[in-house]
Amino acid sequence: MGAIRVKRAFKYRFYPTDAQAAELSRTFGCVRKVYNLALAARTEAWTVRQERINYNATSAMLTAWKKTEELAYLGEVSSVPLQQALRHLQTAFANFFGKQAKYPRFKSRKKSRKSAEYTSSAFRFRDGKLTLAKLDQPLDIVWSRPLPEGAQPSTVTVSQDPAGRWFVSLLVEDPGIKPLPATGTAVGVDAGLDHLLTLSTGEKITNPRHERRDRTRLARAQRELSRKTKGSSNRNKARRKIARIHARIADRRRDTLHKVTTRLVRENQTIVIEDLTVRNLLKNGRLARAISDAAWSEFRSMVEYKAHWYGREVIAVDRWFPSSKLCSACGTLQDAMPLSVRTWTCGNCGITHDRDVNAASNLLAAGLAVSACGAGVRPQRRTPGGQSAMKQETPRREP
């Protein structure tokens, strides 16, 4: 197979001048304001007049808003990010009416992501230098990795995270991604908390528990924040300190997942995972923190898009498939298996199983059956003992 062309976003950190930071911060505020105004207008039109307003109508409203004395400042920033905010709102409503998302929410000044998106008409990219509209000089970008040769960004997104770091993301078309040579190997992957991943080969990948490593430091910073006066500069500094700790945790977690998923995709032709509903699992108050730290959803997202790029196959087995309680040797289903049981012996064939390795082996067998026969794994909502068949991977309470 030849190379495929995919859209890829390359994210870099940059260091703006004081003037650039002020202009971009003002743009972020205008983007948020336009989004909220358009959302309010669309909501009112529907609730009062049962009328649907589309992007063209809100774009006309934006022109009118700029002509008012109260909102004249909207005309002082680049118009492209404001138009892009309206397009994003249109997409949010399309997802809502398509029953793919909840109703769009208003953007909060303190909690919403600070970002602005520029299309090709609002930036100039030449000789490795990026200049945005309304800025008088190029951004000071740290080019940590090269863009594909000859690539020209179609959109540029500038953002600032809660820790105060500035990032620019360039969306380009990468023509150089080539499928990897076929390996003929397949692996079942069981996600857990005691171990981040358990493979059907018997290998267990350690769970780094990034959040736990910084928990004491984070708790101390949060106590310091609670003692600061609201609205003071010291409180803002304390908030930034907490945000930097969270950013450090997220960066390390993402780095670990990238390394693990890249290795799985390179070594295996078929990867079988479990179709977990992480949102529902997070309702378990005892395990929510550990599940969030394991980032199962992010792992699945990474392994799926990398498999698509490199010609691999990812199979998701039904979440109700009792992989932990099914003997991988003889197929006998155990009546009950408390979460405290990490090894067990099959009463039928007498083989002793490691709970996680057995689950990964069962996932692999089920996934290969799906691939060969095109038939899904039959959901088994309840076991004979009345317990949910959905596997939970750890009996321990996270401290």
Q: Model confidence over 221-276: pLDDT tens digits?
A: 999 999 999 989 999 999 999 999 999 999 999 999 999 999 999 999 999 999 98
Residue 261 belongs to a domain: yes
**Is 287 within the bounds of a domain?**
yes
Assess if residue 393 is contained within a domain. Answer: no
269 and 334 co-located in one domain? yes
Do the domain assignments include residue 262?
yes
Taking the C-alpha atoms of residue 163 and residue 243, their distance in angstroms, rounded to an integer, is: 5
Same domain, 288 and 334: yes
Query: Does one domain contain both 102 and 165?
Result: yes
Residues 163, 207, single domain; the answer is: no
Residue 314 belongs to some domain of the structure: yes
Its pTM stands at 0.82
CA-nearest of 131, 123, 179, 170 to 151 is: 170
Active site residues: 190, 274, 356
My answer on whether 200 and 170 are in the same domain is no
Pairing mode of beta strands 313-317, 270-274 = parallel
Predicted pLDDT at 383: 35
Q: What is the pLDDT of residue 374?
A: 57
Amino acid letter at 337?
Answer: M
Name residues of the chain where pLDDT drops below 70. 1-2, 373-399
Do both 158 and 236 map to the same domain?
A: no
CA distance 350 to 121: 69
Same-domain check for residues 165 and 191: no
Residues 192 and 82 in one domain: no
In a domain, 382, yes or no: no
Domain with 253 in it? 186-373
**Closest Cα to residue 382, out of 333, 329, 332, 328?**
333
- Does 214 share its domain with 170? no
Closest CA to 154 of 68, 45, 80, 247: 80
Q: Which tokens is 188 given?
A: 């079942």
pLDDT at res. 95? 95
* Statement to judge: residues 274 and 337 lie in one domain: yes
How far, in Å, are 53, 271, 370 from residue 86 at the CA level? 11, 39, 42
| Residue 387 forms part of a structural domain | no
- Rg of the chain over Cα atoms, rounded to whole angstroms, equals 25
Residue 57 lies in a domain: yes
Helix, strand, coil fractions of the chain, as percent rounded to 5: 40, 20, 40
Tokens 């309304």 identify what position?
Answer: 134
Q: What is the pLDDT of residue 385?
A: 37
| Domain count within the chain | 2
Q: Are residues 233 and 94 in the same domain?
A: no
Same domain, 53 and 89: yes
